Chains A and B, each alone.
Chain A
Amino acid sequence: MYALRDKYAIAGIGWTDYSKKSGRTVRSLASEACLKAIADAGLKVADVDGFVSFNFNDSVPAISVATEIGVPAARYANDFLSGGNAANMIVLTAAAAIEAGLAETVLCYRAMNGRSGFRLGGGRDLAAYGITQFTAPFGWITYPQAMAMWCRRHMIEYGTNAEQLGEIAVTFRKNAENNERAMQREPISMDDYMSSRMIVEPFRMLDICLETDGACAVLVTSAERARDMKRKPVYISGGAYGGGPNQGEDLFDAIRWPDHSHNYAKYIADDLWRSAGMGPGDIDIAQIYDCFTYSIIMQLEGLGFCKEGEGGPFVQGGRIACNGELPLNTHGGLLSEGYIHGLNHVVEAVQQLRGEAGVRQVSGVETCLTTAGAMTCGSALVLRN
Chain B
Amino acid sequence: MSYAKPLPVADVETQPFWQACRDGKLMLPRCTNCGHCRFPPTFYCAKCNSAEHEWIESTGRGRVFSWIVVRHPVPREVYATDVPYVVSLIDLDEGVRIVSNIVSVEPEKVTAGMPVRVIFRTVTPEITLPLFEPAWQ
Query: Interface of A with B (CB < 8 Å)?
Result: 121-142, 145, 148-150, 152-153, 156, 197-202, 246, 249, 255-256, 260
Q: Does B99 contact A (CB under 8 A)?
A: yes
* Apart from the given pairs A134-B40, A255-B40, 6 other A-B contacts in the complex at a CB distance below 8 Å: A128-B8, A149-B87, A153-B66, A201-B71, A256-B40, A260-B89
When chains A and B are docked, how far (Å) is the Cα of A256 from the Cα of B65?
Answer: 12
What are 27 residue pairs bridging A and B, where the CB atoms are less than 8 Å apart in the complex? A124-B6, A127-B7, A127-B9, A128-B9, A129-B9, A133-B10, A133-B11, A137-B6, A137-B8, A137-B129, A142-B74, A145-B70, A145-B74, A149-B67, A149-B89, A150-B66, A156-B112, A197-B71, A198-B71, A200-B68, A200-B69, A201-B68, A202-B68, A255-B97, A255-B98, A256-B40, A260-B66
When chains A and B are docked, how far (Å) is the Cα of A133 from the Cα of B15?
Answer: 11
Collect the chain A residues with CB atoms within 8 Å of residue B56's CB.
none
Complex interface bits, B66-82 against A, C-beta within 8 A gives 1, otherwise 0: 11111110110011001
Q: A205: nearest residue on chain B (CB-CB)?
A: B72
User: How many residues of chain B have a CB within 8 Å of chain A?
Assistant: 37
Pair A122/B75 contact, Cβ less than 8 Å: yes
Pair B71/A137 contact, Cβ less than 8 Å: no
Collect the chain A residues with CB atoms within 8 Å of residue B87's CB.
138-140, 145, 149
Pair A137/B70 contact, Cβ less than 8 Å: no
When chains A and B are docked, how far (Å) is the Cα of A198 from the Cα of B73?
Answer: 11
The 9 A-B residue pairs with the shortest CB-CB distance, nearest first, are: A133-B8, A136-B6, A201-B69, A123-B75, A148-B68, A199-B72, A156-B112, A153-B66, A128-B6
Q: What's the least CB distance linking B66 to chain A, in Å?
A: 4
Q: A131: nearest residue on chain B (CB-CB)?
A: B40
Tell me the chain B residues, 33-70 only, with Cβ under 8 Å from chain A.
40, 46, 65-70
Knowing A123-B74, A145-B70 are in contact, say whether A139-B97 is a contact too (CB < 8 A).
no
Collect the chain A residues with CB atoms within 8 Å of residue B99's CB.
134-135, 138, 140, 255
Q: A246: nearest residue on chain B (CB-CB)?
A: B46
Pair B67/A133 contact, Cβ less than 8 Å: no
Q: Does B19 contact A (CB under 8 A)?
A: no
Collect the chain A residues with CB atoms within 8 Å of residue B14's CB.
133
Pair A139/B4 contact, Cβ less than 8 Å: no
When chains A and B are docked, how far (Å) is the Cα of A142 from the Cα of B72?
Answer: 11
Pair A145/B66 contact, Cβ less than 8 Å: no
When chains A and B are docked, how far (Å) is the Cα of A172 from the Cα of B101?
Answer: 34
Pair A199/B71 contact, Cβ less than 8 Å: yes
Q: What's the least CB distance linking A276 to chain B, in Å?
A: 33
When chains A and B are docked, how far (Å) is the Cα of A132 from the Cα of B82?
Answer: 20
Tell me the chain B residues, 76-107 only, with Cβ under 8 Å from chain A.
78-79, 82, 85, 87, 89, 97-101, 107
Collect the chain A residues with CB atoms within 8 Å of residue B78's CB.
123, 126
Collect the chain B residues with CB atoms within 8 Å of residue A255's CB.
40, 89, 97-99
Q: Does B5 contact A (CB under 8 A)?
A: yes
Collect the chain A residues with CB atoms within 8 Å of residue B5's CB.
126, 137, 139
Contact pick for B7, options A128, A145, A148, CB 8 Å: A128
Q: What's the least CB distance linking B14 to chain A, in Å?
A: 6
Interface centre among A126, A131, A150 (most CB of B within 10 A): A126
Q: A208: nearest residue on chain B (CB-CB)?
A: B72
Collect the chain B residues with CB atoms within 8 Å of residue A249's CB.
40
Q: What's the least CB distance linking B27 to chain A, in Å?
A: 14
